[in-house]
Structures are given as C-alpha cells and as structure tokens.
Chains A and B, each alone.
Chain A
Amino acid sequence: MSKEVVLDCLGEACPIPLVKSEKALEKMEVGDILIVQIDHSCAMKNVPEWARKQGHEVELEEIDDGEWECIIEKMK
C-alpha cells in the first residue's frame, strides 16, 4: 500500500522547499506520493524541475492564487 506524505512549505523561501522535498523523498518508498505545498514562485519552478530530472512523476497544480501543490510520485 503506497502512502502519501504532505510537506507544508508555505512561507518557506527558495531553496528550503527543494531541500525539504529531497529529504522527505529519501525516506519514502517507490510508489509513494509526496505533496509539497509551496507559495514561493521560485520553488514552483525548481522543485518540479529537480523531481523530473530525478525521474519521478510530477504534477503541478495551482490550488489558490500564488499557492501550488507539487505532487511527486517516487519512481525509483
């Protein structure tokens, strides 16, 4: 059973969301889903870019004005 982790990075400036995502994803298993909540526009670019490069499935959703959820499925 895959689990889902929500990482609250609201109010965190770049690059904290990225570093936190990296650490959270390390502890997770393949197939798990990490939802990173971000409101720093720069993180909304570099978190998905980094995760895609790592080979994970990534989806970005704007849930409110200036608030995003980056949904990462750990692939390996």
Chain B
Amino acid sequence: MTEGITRTSSRASARGGSRRKKKNQIPIALIIFVVIAGIGVWLGFKGENLLLYWVFGLAFGFILQRSRFCFTASMRDPYLTNSTSVTRAVLIAFAITSIGFTAIKYGYFANGLAIPGQSYIAAISIATCVGALMFGIGMVIAGGCASGTLMRIGEGFWMQVIALFFFVVGSLWGAHDFGWWKRTFILGGAKVFMPDYLGWFGGLLANLLIIAVIYVIAHKWENRGSNELSH
C-alpha cells in the first residue's frame, strides 16, 4: 500500500480542486421515504407486529448513523486515544436499557404472566471472555461490529461489504457447529438472572451501580490521558 502522503506548497492548491458541486439528495430521499412508507403499510397488513419491527429497525439505524454511535469505537478508542466519550455513551445506553427491560419483565411478572426474553439469559463462563476477546479483535480489524457494519454499508462505504460477507460466513459456520460448542464449553457455565438473587429492585440497582462504577473509571481514564500530556 502506498504511503498516501503528498506534499504541496500552498494551501489553496491542495483544497481548491477538490471541491465539487454536491448533488441534490432531496428527490432520492423522497423516493426512499415513499418506498419505506409503502413497505410499512404492506407489513402492517401482514400483521404480527411486523410494522413495529420495521419502525424500530429504521429508527435504530437512523439514530446509529446520525449520532455516529459505534460500539467498536467505544471499546477501541480508550486504548487508541484515551477517549471514552463513546464508551460512556454506550454505558448510558446500557443503563437506560436496564431500566427499560427490567420494567417490561417486572410488568409481566407482576401480572402473573411468563416473563419474556428469559431464553436470552445465557450461561457465562470462560468461553464468554474468550469469545468477547475474539469478537473485539475482529470488529476492530473489520471497522465495525454487526450494527456498525450494516450502518456503514447503508452509508455507501463499500469496503464494509467484505466485512459483512465474512460476517455472514462466520455466523453460518458458527451456527453449524454451535451444538458442539454449547455442549462442550457453554453449558458448564452459570446462568445468572439478577432478580433471582437480589430481587427486582436490588438486581436493577446492582446493574446500575456496576455501570456507574465503569462510567467513573472511564471518565478517570480519559482525564488520565490529558494529565499526562499537560505535564
């Protein structure tokens, strides 16, 4: 790969030629809006909450793109630049989600209904740590986690299509052998649902406290960097 560095003598020459007239994106935005609305109406008639999923998916993607939210950056930037602004944004999101899903689960529990989403409580073990580390290495090299990769393809960053392709390949391979992995490594771990141990309020409080502690550490980590620089 080339160095990519060229030296120029004056500021005007480096930037003057690169400014092109931007295309008007309003017509294509209108077309896409109509298509999205059309699909929404179609899904609405098909029923079964499909319209809800569609709206939530679109909203999630839109927020992800506009906010430059990036789970990869949240884990990577603390090492690379000491910046933890995205890390703290993710922690805040976790805190809000914790309150949200606890409320939903408690709502079902209080009404004597089956608590939804309990099948997602997975066993934790050393396999969780190993898997997390591998996923972390992969997402930094690929330039995005799952949602980030999809969002950047939507933005038109074509290199990420390669990442998506191998993400699909890897997922299929993983799914193919998942039974073996589950029997051999995963099932040995403990399943922890905090309300079982600490009660509904205690579980939520413990969760929020852990997030708060990590938040404080993240904040200190960022300032640690600037202190070193100022000395």
What residue of chain A has the Cβ atom nearest to residue B67's Cβ? A45
B18 within 8 A of A: yes
With a 10 A CB-CB cut-off, give which of B15, B20, B22 has the most chain A CB atoms: B15
- Interface residues on chain B, size class: 35 or more
Main secondary structure of the interface of A (DSSP, over half): mixed
B49 within 8 A of A: no
The CA of A4 and the CA of B7, in the complex, are separated in Å by 6
Contact B73 A66 (CB under 8 A): no
Within 8 A of A (CB), among B136-178: 140, 142-144, 148, 152, 155-157, 159-160
Q: What is the CB-to-nearest-CB distance from B161 to chain A, in angstroms, rounded to a whole number?
A: 12
Partner pick for B18 among A9, A63, A66, CB 8 A cutoff: A63
**A contact residues around B142 at 8 Å (CB):** 13
Partner pick for B5 among A14, A24, A41, CB 8 A cutoff: A24
With A9-B4, A41-B68 as known contacts, state yes or no: A19 contacts B159, CB within 8 Å.
Answer: no
Give A31-42 as 1s and 0s: 1 = Cβ < 8 Å from B's Cβ atoms.
001010101111
The CA of A15 and the CA of B86, in the complex, are separated in Å by 14
B11 within 8 A of A: yes
Contact A65 B25 (CB under 8 A): yes
Q: What is the CB-to-nearest-CB distance from A61 to chain B, in angstroms, rounded to a whole number?
A: 8
The CA of A35 and the CA of B8, in the complex, are separated in Å by 11
Contact B14 A4 (CB under 8 A): yes
**B contact residues around A3 at 8 Å (CB):** 7, 9
The A/B interface has a contact count, at CB < 8 Å, of: 101
**A contact residues around B11 at 8 Å (CB):** 4, 33
Give B56-92 as 1s and 0s: 1 = Cβ < 8 Å from A's Cβ atoms.
0000000001001010110011001111010000000
What residue of chain A has the Cβ atom nearest to residue B23's Cβ? A65
The CA of A11 and the CA of B162, in the complex, are separated in Å by 13
Contact A41 B155 (CB under 8 A): yes
Partner pick for A49 among B23, B85, B226, CB 8 A cutoff: B85
**A contact residues around B25 at 8 Å (CB):** 65
Please, could you name 28 A-B residue pairs with CB atoms under 8 Å apart, sorted by A? A4-B11, A5-B5, A5-B6, A5-B7, A6-B5, A6-B7, A7-B4, A8-B4, A8-B5, A9-B4, A11-B159, A13-B143, A14-B73, A15-B143, A18-B81, A20-B4, A37-B18, A40-B152, A41-B157, A42-B70, A42-B73, A42-B144, A45-B70, A50-B83, A63-B19, A63-B20, A65-B23, A65-B25
| A8-B6, A14-B70, A15-B140 given; 20 more Cβ-contact pairs under 8 Å | A4-B7, A4-B10, A6-B14, A14-B72, A15-B77, A18-B80, A40-B143, A41-B65, A41-B155, A41-B157, A42-B72, A42-B144, A45-B73, A49-B83, A49-B85, A55-B229, A63-B19, A64-B20, A65-B25, A69-B18
